[in-house]
Amino acid sequence: MSNVEGIVPFGLRNGRMYAATEVANGLACDCLCPGCATPLVARQGEHRRPHFAHHAGAECEYGAESAIHRMAKQIIADHRRILLPGWDGDLIHPNPSMLVDIKDWIHRADRVEMPARVAQLTDVTLEQRVGDHRPDLVVNDDQGELLIEIRWQHPVTPEKKQAMEESGRRMIEIDLSRLGLFDISRTDLLIDAVLGNESNRKWISCPEAIAAWIENHRALCDRVQCANASIQEAREVNLRKRRDLLAIERNRRWQYLSELAALDQITRPEAIQSRLHELANKDIPKAEILQREIVPTWVTLHLTDPSSDCWAVSAHPKLWWSAAYLRFIQSAPAGKVLTTMAIFNWLDLTFGFHPIAYRLFQAQRTYGIAFQPGSRGRSPPWCAYFSDKENRAIPNLWRIAQRFLDRLTDAGVLDRVTDGFQIAI
Ligand SMILES: [Zn+2]
C-alpha cells in the first residue's frame, strides 16, 4: 500500500472518477487530482499498468488515498449492492459464549449463526455526518441504515468503534490496504475487492449479532445456574449422608461401654506391672528353652520388647519374639518377604491379645477402614465414638507387631524392602 511517488490511480472529471484506460492519454484526459485539484496526465504505457501522474510533478500527500476512497464509494453507489461480512464473535463476545460451573465443567451457548450475505442497497449517501463522525458511506438495505468505512491507510479507531456500538449503529469496514497501488488502479480488481470479497471486510459494529449473542449468553447463564444448583444440591445430599453415617457410628459407643470403663483400670501402671510379672512367671522358662535353638546366638540379645504397651499381648515379649524369630526368620527360605500384617495375624492366632485392648483396638481399626479408605486402619488408630483420651490409651497392637520387625532391622537381621522386610543374614 506504499504511495508510489506522485502516482494517482484514478482521475477526477466532472464529479466522477475514471481509470486511466477510460480517458484520452496524456494531458488530454482532462482529469484533476482528487487530493490537490491540479491537472493529471493519463499514462497508458505498455510496460506499466495504466495510471495517472501529476502534470506538474506536484508534491501531493493525499492524491492516492483520496482517489481510492472516491472510486470505492463510486463503485458502491453505481452497483447498489454490497457483500456483508459474516459475524463470528470478537474478543468480548466469543462465539459461542462459554461459562464454567462450580465443578469446573465448561458449558457452551448456542452459536450465533450469521454468514456473509449480499445486501441490495436502496439509498447511498457519501460522507454524511452521523453524530460526531463522518463515515465514508451511509447506505440503506433491507435492515435500515448501514455505515461503510473504506480502509486504505487508516483503520477505524477504537473510539469510533465504541461510539458506533454504543449508538447501536451498523458499521462495516472494507480493507483495501492489501492491494498494491497498481493492482488497485485496475477497475475490475477494485470492483471485486469493494463489492464481493468476503475476506477483506468485517463488522465494526453489528447490533443484531450482539443482541443474538446476549440472548444466547443469557440462556447459557440460566443453564449454568441450574447446573450449579444441582451440583450444590448433590453436594449437600452427600454431606447429609456422611453426617448421618457419622451419627450412626457415634451411637456405637454403647457397645463398648464396659471395655471403656475397664480401660482406665487395665492401663494403670500398677496393673501393667502386675500383668507383666504374671506373663514373665508363666513364659520366661518357655522362652529360655526356645532361645537355645536360636542361631546365631547373638540375636537373642535383641529378642525382647521393653516398650510400655507390650502387656497387651497375652504372652511375655521374650517368649513371642523368640517364637516369631524361629517361625519367620530362622526357618524361612532365602528371599522371603515379611510383613507387619503377617506378624500381627500370627500373633493374634498363636498367643492372642488382652481381650479388652483387642476389642477396643479392633473398633478403631474398623472405624479407620470405613472412614479413611486407603489407611487400612494402620495409623493413627482413632475412632470418633471414643474420646481423644480413650483413643490414646488404647494400645496400638499393630505397632507392637511392627516393632519386632523394626528392632531386628536395626540389629542388622532384616533389610527394609518396598513391600516389607527381607532377611539380611
Ligand atoms: Zn494531487
**First and final C-alpha spacing in the chain:** 88
Region 13-37: what's the mean pLDDT? 94
Residue 377 has pLDDT above 50, yes or no: no
Strands 144-151 and 171-175: parallel
Residues 341-366 have pLDDT tens digits of: 999 999 999 999 999 999 999 998 88
Mean pLDDT of 330-341: 88
**pLDDT number for residue 3:** 45
Q: What is the 3-state secondary structure (H, E, C) of the chain?
A: CCCCCCEECCEEECCEEECHHHCCCEHHHCCECCCCCCEEEEECCCCCCCEEEECCCCCCCCHHHHHHHHHHHHHHHHHCEEEECCECCCCCCCCCCEEECCCCCEEECCCCCECCEEEECCEEEECCCECCECCCEEEEECCEEEEEEEECCCCCCHHHHHHHHHCCCCEEEEECCCCCHHHHCCHHHHHHHHHCCHHHEEEEECHHHHHHHHHHHHHHHHHHHHHHHHHHHHHHHHHHHHHHHHHHHHHHHHHHHHHHHHHHHHCCHHHHHHHHHHHHHHHHHHHHHHHCCCCCHHHHHHCCCCCHHHHHECCCHHHHHHHHHHHHHHCCCCCCEECHHHHHHHHHHHCCECHHHHHHHHHHHHHHHHHCCCCCCCCCCCCCCCCHHHHHHCCCHHHHHHHHHHHHHHCCCEEEECCEEEECC
Q: How crowded is the C-beta side of 60, counted as CA atoms within 13 Å?
A: 27
At residue 58, does pLDDT exceed 80? no
Report residue 145 as a C-alpha cell. Answer: 441504515
Question: Per-residue pLDDT averaged across 241-263, rounded?
Answer: 84
Q: Output the CA 22–ligand 1 centroid distance in Å.
A: 19
Of residues 115 and 249, more confidently modeled: 115
Mean pLDDT of 395-400: 93
* Over residues 208-234, mean pLDDT: 97
Percent of the chain scored above 70 by pLDDT?
A: 96
Query: How far does residue 4's CA lie from ligand 1's centre (Å)?
Result: 13
Give the pLDDT confidence of 290-306 residue by residue, as tens digits: 999 998 999 998 888 77
Confidence of residue 75 (pLDDT cuts 50, 70, 90): very high
Ligand 1 center to residue 11 CA distance, Å?
10
CA dist., res. 269 & res. 88, Å (int)? 81
Please give the pLDDT value at position 1: 36
CA 334, chain centre distance (Å): 51
pLDDT at res. 375: 52
Q: Give the phi and the psi of residue 193 in degrees, each rounded to 5.
A: -65, -35
CB neighbours (10 Å) of residue 311?
24
**How far is the centre of ligand 1, averaged over its atoms, from the C-alpha of 37 (Å)?**
6
Q: Which amino acid is at 322?
A: S
**How far does the centroid of ligand 1 lie from the alpha carbon of residue 357, in Å?**
107
pLDDT at 169: 94
Give the position of cell 460522507: 127
Which of 126-140, 184-198, 279-293 holds the top average pLDDT? 279-293
Residue 381's pLDDT is what? 80
Q: pLDDT band for position 19 (50/70/90)?
A: very high
* CB burial string 137-146: b at 16+ within 10 A, e below: bbbebeeeeb
Statement: residue 320 has pLDDT above 80: yes
Q: How far apart are CA 327 and CA 320, in angstroms?
A: 10
**Overall average pLDDT of the 31-37 stretch:** 93
Region 406-425 average pLDDT: 90
CA of 178 from ligand 1 middle (Å) equals 22
Look up residue 377 and give its amino acid.
G
Give me the mean pLDDT over the 47-69 stretch: 85
Q: Kindly tell me if the per-residue pLDDT of 250 is higher than 80.
A: no
Give the chain's mean pLDDT.
Answer: 90
Phi, psi (degrees; rounded to nearest 5) at 220: -65, -45
> Ligand 1 centroid vs 198 CA: distance in angstroms?
31
Ligand 1 centroid–CA 311 distance in Å is: 111
Q: How far, in Å, from the CA of 324 to the mean position of ligand 1?
A: 109
pLDDT in tens, 149-194: 999 888 999 999 999 999 999 999 999 998 887 788 888 889 999 9
- The Å distance, Cα 12 to ligand 1 centre, comes to 11
Q: Give the least confident one: 107-111, 278-282, 395-399, 420-424.
A: 420-424
Domain ranges of the chain: 7-63, 67-214, 255-423
> Ligand 1: distance of its center to the CA of 30 in Å?
14
What spacing in Å lies between the alpha carbon of 59 and ligand 1's midpoint?
7
Q: What is the pLDDT of residue 2?
A: 39
Q: Stretch 207-218: mean pLDDT, rounded?
A: 96
d(CA 186, CA 49): 8
pLDDT given for residue 5 in this prediction: 63
Q: Residue 38 C-alpha to ligand 1 middle, in angstroms?
A: 6
